[in-house]
A and B are shown apart, each in its own frame.
Chain A
Amino acid sequence: SQTIHQWPATLVQPVGSPLSLECTVEGTSNPNLYWYRQAAGRGLQLLFYSIGIDQISSEVPQNLSASRPQDRQFILSSKKLLLSDSGFYLCAWSATANYGYTFGSGTRLTVV
């Protein structure tokens, strides 16, 4: 069966520090991968999606970037965090468009 792993679970980082969040999927090949952010009390905002290695599409211009160095690995990065980057970051995968997404357990990021 397929599983999705996301880490770390929680992170407290100072303003201006770098960020790296990692997500991996097991049990499938060539998944569609997504990064979402959920700010406190708000809905899910799509940040990046990827349909293959090194194929990344950005939905929202900001100081975040994403990379997919391997088929089942998706990384979210920032060179310098802002206070507004705080939130709940969720990685998700899907096999095809019609099956919906399966989310990882999420990373709660607090920028101080």
Chain B
Amino acid sequence: QKEVEQNSGPLSVPEGAIASLNCTYSDRVSQSFFWYRQYSGKSPELIMSIYSNGDKEDGRFTAQLNKASQYVSLLIRDSQPSDSATYLCAVNDAGGTSYGKLTFGQGTILTVHP
């Protein structure tokens, strides 16, 4: 069974700090990796995708992927109280098919305090 593991937290950081969220996955053939943000009572929103080893930056967000270690992370720089949410790591095991099923981690609760 494919698994995606995240530290459930809660992770608490002060405003302006860097929040670091981590995720490991079990299936070595996984090809696409995503981070979703979910505010309480709302549906998940895609914030980052990454497909190749290394870093990918988008504004205050940086996704990092290491396929050899089966590890993906999300860094949030200059954290704001509005970043307080649950962050879901998702892994796609498309395996070359035209559709893919995302397996989600349990999510990490992030709290940014003023």
Chain A positions within 8 Å of B, measured between CB atoms, are: 32, 34, 42-44, 46, 49, 51, 59, 90, 94, 96-106, 108
Contact = CB atoms under 8 A, between A and B. Distances in A.
Nearest to B6: A43
A102 B30 CA distance: 20
A101 B106 contact: no
Contacts, number: 65
Interface stretch (B66-74, B77-85, B89-97): B89-97
B101 A103 contact: no
B102 A100 contact: yes
Contact of B99 (A32, A104, A108): A32
Contact of A97 (B44, B100, B104, B105): B100
A22 B68 CA distance: 41
Contact of A100 (B41, B43, B90, B106): B90
Contacts of A98: 31-32, 49, 51, 92, 94, 100
Interface string B46-80: 10010100000000000000000000000000000
Q: Is the interface of B mostly helix, strand, loop or mixed?
A: loop
B98 A101 contact: no
Interface residues of B, number: 26
A97 B34 CA distance: 12
Contacts of A51: 98-99
Nearest to B33: A100
B65 to A, nearest CB: 14
B92 A103 contact: no
A44 B49 CA distance: 18
A49 to B, nearest CB: 6
Contacts of B42: 105-106
Contacts of A103: 43-45
B44 A44 contact: yes
Nearest to A30: B98
A97 B94 contact: yes
